[in-house]
Structure 1
Amino acid sequence: MKLIVILTMMVLAVNNTSNAQTSISDLKSEAYFDFWVGEWELSWTDNQGNEGAGTNTIEKILDGVVIQENFMATKGNLEGYKGKSVSVYNPQRQSWHQAWVDNQGGYIDLKGSVDGDKRIFQTAERPGPQGGTIINRMVFYDIKKDSFTWDWESSQDGGESWSLNWRIEYKRR
């Protein structure tokens, strides 16, 4: 009887370990954004209260070193908006970089970082539309195997405080 109890406890321990979320401290830097790879259904509400939906397909390309994003808004006031990004870890600089382009002529250059269990891509500080400076960032958090939340935020005070512009809920297809 003791053997059955011990074996049962061992099986439960193995199952609990394999289902646990990997901590960021357990990952190599080049794997920080691997959670993002897959096919995703998206839903969001922007800071004006407008709802939308879309898809995002994320894949590793170029020998698995580059992460490529293919975003498409399919419902709401952004319907028809499309964008792509490529993200790569630069081992010489020990940092992540992303370049975003879209079908409206947009281009954004971002640098990646980690803050606790959050993964972040952030722009450099640039002149704001009404003077001062502005920084934008995307923050990936509440990361689980089949879902996570993505926020697009902006700061007009050098990153001291952040305003939410757009929140997307990702659900794996």
Structure 2
Amino acid sequence: MTDHCTDFDFQQGRWTVHHRRLKSRLTGCTEWETFAGTSEQRPLLGGNGNVEDNLLHLPAGDYRAVALRSYDPEAGTWAIWWLDARNPHALDTPVTGRFEQGIGTFYADDTHEGRAVHLRFLWLDTQGDTPRWEQALSADGGESWETNWVMEFTRA
């Protein structure tokens, strides 16, 4: 038995990351750009939180960003915030959710280019050697989803 939530323990350590991202979101775009990155995750809050430090090698230039996560044991949910070094004083709207059978599903109400959207993060293949993260947006109240960013992790 552990004294912390183990949901994100799979991601601790250093990773190489293969990114695939739509060039335009919610426009019907089907053109993807790919780029490399690295990631390192370490626990915080006695294991009920963590920080994922990312270096992204975008075609337009490198930047750093972090995912900050915290677990609420009473609710059984995680909150995830994104902090982008290109806008260092603004945390993105947090997504909240949980893991069930090795799949993490997280949601938030957000905006994209001034338009109200639902945001979804999925963590997949968390029990294997190559976890995968996906981001999707919905502009129709969750009836349909456009996956616009995929990160595939390989242990460094």
TM bucket (normalised to shorter chain) is 0.7 to 0.9
Residues 13-162 of structure 1: pairs in structure 2 closer than 5 A: 30-48=5-23, 49-74=32-57, 76-77=58-59, 79-105=61-87, 106-108=90-92, 109-114=94-99, 116-123=101-108, 125-129=109-113, 131=115, 133-162=116-145
Q: Identity over aligned residues, as a percent?
A: 24
Task: Label 1:127 to 1:53 Cα distance change in 2 as closer, same or farther (>3 A).
Answer: closer
Amino acid at match of 1:113: R
Task: Label 1:40 to 1:161 Cα distance change in 2 as closer, same or farther (>3 A).
Answer: same
Amino acid at match of 1:41: T
Unaligned 5+ segments in structure 1 are 1-26
Task: Label 1:28 to 1:119 Cα distance change in 2 as closer, same or farther (>3 A).
Answer: farther
Classify the secondary structure of the residue corresponding to 1:151: strand
2:122 and 2:129 map into 1 onto residues whose CA distance is 17
Report 1 or 2 for greater relative contact order, CA contacts < 8 Å, sequence distance ≥ 6. 2
More helix by share: 1
- Greater radius of gyration (CA): 1
Q: Return the TM-score normalized by structure 1.
A: 0.72
Task: Label 1:163 to 1:28 Cα distance change in 2 as closer, same or farther (>3 A).
Answer: farther
2:112 and 2:68 map into 1 onto residues whose CA distance is 25
Equivalent pairs counted in the alignment come to: 144
Shift of 1:45: 2.0
Matched with 2:29 is: none
1:36 and 1:100 map into 2 onto residues whose CA distance is 16
1:139 and 1:98 map into 2 onto residues whose CA distance is 12
2:20 and 2:120 map into 1 onto residues whose CA distance is 17
Unaligned 5+ segments in structure 2 are 24-31
RMSD: 2.4
